Every structure is written in structure tokens, then in C-alpha cells.
Amino acid sequence: MVKTTANPGGLPKELFDGLQAQLAANRSQFYRDVAAGPFYGYNRPGVKSSEAVIQNWWRQGRMDGAKAHYDGIVAFSQTDFTEDLKKVAAPLLVMHGEDDQIVPFADAGPLSAKLLKNSETKFYPAFPQGMPTTNANTINADLLAFIKG
């Protein structure tokens, strides 16, 4: 996800450094803010937030190790999975929300699908990163149809 010569469309490393700084400064607030905003798209106009969903995400984040989460930001932003994806031959369904504010759509979903040998795609306009929660009926139906197919 980070911008490099191999990934010119990526995001600046400073963005991920900022996430680590926020996490280190106040881990509890970090999990509250991410869930209340970009993860579920609750920061978008007209989107009704769910306090129960926010609290559940916060709870899950607080259950895991702080060091693992801190290091995980580097792992998810700087690991290049290109060669790994090229090796996968199993049928896969690539699902991605086009309003994903965590993993920007243009630099993830379509590129991943292109690298996979045997994939189907389902891209969802206006769906956030947390779409399995916020749009469970659609996501579950599409997953079931893929599995049955």
C-alpha cells in the first residue's frame, strides 16, 4: 500500500507512520476513532453510525497485543504480495468496497484480481472497509453464491 517505485499509486509512508504514532499515543482512542470514522464509513455524509458496532470494533482491538498492532501497520502497508498472488491457482472471490478509506480501491481490489489466475470480482460502489458488517446481507449473499458456484 505504501508508495514506492514499484507502487507509484501507493500512499505516502508518512500516512502509515502517523497511524503508528496515533496508536502509540492512545491506543484506546485510536480504535474508537477508526471505527467511528473511516473503517465503517461513518464519517460520510448521510451514513448513520452504530455505537454497538463501534464499541465491538474497539473491544476487538483492545483484546489483541499492542506491539502486534503497531508492527501490523508496517506489515499491511509495506509487504509486497505481488509474487504470492501470482502463484495462487485456487478460485478466489475478490471483494472490495469502492469507498474503502483504509485500503484505497484503485490500488488494491482491481490490481489484486489482475494478478490472480482464477478470480472473480465483486466491487461495491459506496461500500467501506467494514462492508461485511455494514452491508452483511449483500456480502453474505455474494459469498454464498460464489461458494455454491
Same domain? For 115 and 128 the reply is: yes
Q: State the chain's mean pLDDT as an integer.
A: 95
| Rounded distance between C-alpha atoms, residue 27 and residue 109, angstroms | 29
What is the grid cell recorded at 41?
Answer: 464509513
What is the total count of domains within the chain?
Answer: 2
Which of 60, 80, 100 delimits the end of a domain?
Answer: 80
Q: Is the pLDDT reported for residue 7 higher than 90?
A: no
Q: What is the pLDDT of residue 74?
A: 95
What pairs with residue 120 in β-bridges?
Answer: 93
The type of residue at 58 is W
- Let me know the angle formed at the C-alpha of 130 by 141 and 149, rounded to the nearest 5 degrees: 25
**pLDDT-based confidence at residue 128 (cuts at 50, 70, 90):** very high
**Domain enclosing residue 145, as ranges:** 81-149
The 10s digit of each residue's pLDDT in 58-73 is: 999 999 999 999 999 9
Stretch 88-113: mean pLDDT: 94
Q: Is the pLDDT reported for residue 107 higher than 90?
A: no
* Beta carbons of 134 and 81 less than 8 angstroms apart: no
Same domain? For 71 and 86 the reply is: no
Same domain? For 19 and 67 the reply is: yes
